[in-house]
Amino acid sequence: MSQIPFTTEWIGRFQDPYAVMGLSVTADDRRVLKRYRELAKLLHPDRYVRAEADVRETATQLFSKVVGPAYQKLKQDKGRAENLAMLRFRVRRLTREQTFDPASNIARELMGKPAAQIDVFYEQAIAKLSSDQYQPLEQFEFITLQLDELNLVYLRLKMGEPIIREKRTGIVSAKPPIISQATPTIPTPPETETIDYAHRHYERAQTYARNANWADAVRELKDALKLDASRSNYHSLLAVVYLKQDLPTMGRVHCRQALKLNPEDKLALRYAPKFGINPDNLNLNNGSKPSQGKSTAGKSTKSDSDKGLFSIFSRRR
């Protein structure tokens, strides 16, 4: 087999640790560990006792320089959340800047699936590709890049918009996967949005919190705050979620910020004592009433808090 260079540039081609390990982006810690153990057996030197020296060395290098670092990034909730955020960032960047034109047939096929079939097709495609990813070793690069495309397409489809257009030519492009933004029929500024996407992230975070899925709740709330950091209910919910993960220091920061944005935020007021915060001692706008802008945010926050946030945590103190 041809010798893999294992240079920094070559390893840098594989930015997605899920793709490196042959996993879908929905994998939890058990699936990550199970796959890691499978790869440890597949790439163990004992399997290559009778193989040529360069094959044995390739297997060792793949495990130590590619698989091992990928596993370190995914073995904990925090790492998985961070890497999913990075993948989403790639999708958003490609959406703004380029045209989505995946090279692999399987990624293009996923793009054409109706919404009801996306999840099943995606998981089956990942399983099929990963079964051949390291057997033989020279397939690693080709299959891993296909897995990377599948993950990007899946995340893009799950974001809901802009529209992804199918490639209309049968020629397979050698370019990396890129995403195009549909041309609007009415000219509008590129940043103008009529849908409150920040609030969509917040609503998903509430659902995750109800199911005690704290890592995904943190991920959604961070995305919400990137879009709009002025809403106290985003900060107060994130504060409580951090508390549930035994991260009180991080939670305290967001609890304080929630109360600064809206001194009447009920969720923040309820959990403030758990963070050692006395709301009466906070310096809110130098003692004056909240500004008009923050007052508006506070009204929205209060309404959202009253609609079920307490019920989320009433059984999980």
The full set of domains in the chain, from first to last, is 8-159 (no CATH), 197-313 (1.25.40.10)
Nearest to 178 by CA among 90, 284, 112: 90
Nearest to 91 by CA among 8, 159, 145, 26: 159
d(CA 108, CA 113): 9
**What tokens were used for 132?**
């051949």
The pTM (predicted TM-score) of the whole model is: 0.51
DSSP tag of 187: -
Q: Is 276 exposed, middle or buried (0-12, 13-18, 19+ CB in 10 A)?
A: exposed
d(CA 284, CA 298): 13
d(CA 108, CA 106): 5
d(CA 266, CA 275): 15
Reply yes or no: is the peptide bond before residue 136 cis, omega within 30 of 0.
yes
CA atoms within 13 A on the CB side of 83: 27
Mean pLDDT (10-residue bins), the chain, 317 residues: 77 94 94 96 92 91 95 94 92 77 89 92 95 92 95 87 37 40 43 64 89 88 89 94 91 92 93 91 52 40 49 57
Nearest to 231 by CA among 195, 204, 253, 258: 258
pLDDT score recorded for residue 148: 95
d(CA 40, CA 63): 7
